[in-house]
Structures are given as C-alpha cells and as structure tokens.
Amino acid sequence: MSIIQSKTVAHQVDEILLERIRDGSYAAGSRMPSESELSEELGVSRATVRTALAKLAATGLIIRKQGDGTYVNAHVREASVHTGNLWDLVQLIEGNGYNSSIRSLSIERRVATEREALALALEPGDELLSMHRLFLADGQPVILANNVIPFNLLRTPMESIDGELHIREIFHRYCHQKITFAITDIRSTVMDEQAKEFLGGAAGRAILQLQVSFYGKNNLPLALGMNFFDDSILRLSLVQAWN
C-alpha cells in the first residue's frame, strides 16, 4: 500500500519490485516469482507485469531466461548506467553513488563558429547563447559541460536563466520549445587546457567526450552539447543480456 501514486500501473509494479530487490526480499542472484504469480499477487494483468519486468531487464538489473525464470542480477548495482539516462548527467553521477551538484561557470553571448553554424543550420555570423557548467560528484569536478543555443530562440532575457537546469528544461522554459530527441557521439580525447583547468589531473591524460545534438519537432537541430567526462572517477557502463 503506497501513499504516493505513480503515473502508470506498470510503473507502480516497477517500484514495488525495485523496492523488494533493494531490501533483499528478492536476493541478488536468486530467482524471482514467475510472471503469473506476480500478476495474481499484485492484481494486474500478466501483460502489465511484463512491461514492468521489461523495464528492469533493460537496465540489466534482472536477467530473464525463457523456460527457466527471472533472476536478480548479482553483478549490477542499481547504480549502473544504461542508455536511457546517458544524457541526464545528474542521474549519471548519482547512479555512480555520489551526490551531484552543478556550478555555473559562464553564460555568454557570442558569434557561432563555422562548425556550430553548420550543425545548427545557422547563417555565418549568427549569435549563440553559450553556457559552461561544471558537474561535481561529492564536490569533486567530474564533468565539464558546454551547451550552445541559437540566441534568437531565446524568449526571455539571458540574465534570467537558471544555470542548474537540464538542457531540456532550459529549452522548455526559456525558448518555449520541446527537445524531442538527441544523438550522442562517444569519443576519446586528450584533455585540453580548458578541461584541465576545471577537471584537474595530469596534462595529456585521456577523457571521454560526449558530443550531443539536440533536435526538436520537424527534425530541426536546436542545441549542441559538448561534455568532457572524467572516466577515472565516473563509470560509464552498459549491460547486455541474451537469450
């Protein structure tokens, strides 16, 4: 019996199962009740149980085996990162077991580089809003994030922007548009001067570079992200299961 109602039934089932895995009712490595049993116990259809289980399986937290059963994955902390939240840097940091905080470094207006103009389908000379932010894990800098937005999309004064919001929230609040999807390239790079200044560590060390393009409806590019990710502190791990 829960006080807070989740949006969907499947999501509620999800939370119940998550809770049971967390508190050890379903021990790591052990087999969970079958879909039919859960369906009956929780009073929902088997299909609903399945959508909840599918969500957990996608994160790698449980492993499903046809003809056998559903097992709690002993090697994946709930922490583990999966594709779904690769863009939510806060969630990524907290998934690694840290407390996250954001420090806004600068919010400025400048002319787009050739490359940025191309990626955002702008004219040469058009202006951008450029934000630099530092994400901290337990107070330690781990991600240097740079985001740019075409200046003419802004609907409110630049000074009013809250530098601690997620890009999608910023876009929704200050540009009155929705970002519907994003494409991220994962690359490896040697830390440059700027990154070194904020992330620290030895010169010439390698860090991950997450290069993101954000798109809105009509498939138009709305914003760019360039994140430098210190993989010596944060893990970026993915889980894959087979039948």
> How far apart are CB 28 and DNA at their closest, in Å?
17
Cβ distance to a second copy smaller for residue 149 or 207:
207
Which residue, chain included where needed, has tokens 């050739």? 114
What whole-number distance in Å separates Cα of residue 59 and Cα of residue 2? 24
Given a contact cutoff of 8 angstroms between Cβ atoms, the answer to whether 198 and 141 are in contact is: yes
> How far apart are CB 189 and a second copy at their closest, in Å?
5
What whole-number distance in Å separates Cα of residue 186 and Cα of residue 195? 17
Torsions phi, psi of 23, nearest 5? -85, 5
**Partners of residue 188 on adjacent β-strands:** 208
The DSSP call for residue 33 is P
> How far apart are CB 229 and a second copy at their closest, in Å?
8
- Which of DNA, a second copy, none does residue 235 bind (CB under 5 to 8 Å by kind)? a second copy
Cβ distance to a second copy smaller for residue 106 or 181:
181
Residues 195-224 that bind DNA (CB under 7 A): 217
Residue 5: how many CA atoms within 13 Å on its side-chain side? 3
Torsions phi, psi of 159, nearest 5? -70, -20
> How far apart are CB 73 and a second copy at their closest, in Å?
7
- Which of DNA, a second copy, none does residue 183 bind (CB under 5 to 8 Å by kind)? a second copy
What whole-number distance in Å separates Cα of residue 18 and Cα of residue 77? 12
Asked if 243 interacts with DNA (CB under 7 A), we say yes
Question: Which contacts (CB < 8 Å, 24+ apart) does range 57-65 have?
Answer: 57/241, 58/82, 58/84, 59/84, 59/239, 60/238, 60/239, 60/240, 60/241, 61/18, 61/21, 62/21, 62/32, 63/241, 64/241, 65/243
Among 50, 77, 173, 235, binds DNA (CB under 7 A): 50
Length of the chain: 243
Q: Which residues bind a second copy (CB under 8 A)?
A: 29, 60, 63, 65, 71, 73-76, 80, 82-84, 86-87, 168, 178-190, 204-209, 213, 215, 217-219, 231, 235-242
- Which of a second copy, DNA, none does residue 121 bind (CB under 5 to 8 Å by kind)? none
Among 16, 44, 122, 153, binds DNA (CB under 7 A): 44
Cβ distance to DNA smaller for residue 66 or 160:
66
> How far apart are CB 93 and a second copy at their closest, in Å?
16
Asked if 176 interacts with DNA (CB under 7 A), we say no
Asked if 9 interacts with DNA (CB under 7 A), we say yes
- Which of a second copy, DNA, none does residue 32 bind (CB under 5 to 8 Å by kind)? DNA
Sign of CA dihedral 184, 190, 194, 199: positive
**Interface residue list for DNA (CB under 7 A):** 8-11, 32, 34-37, 43-48, 50-51, 53, 64-70, 217, 243
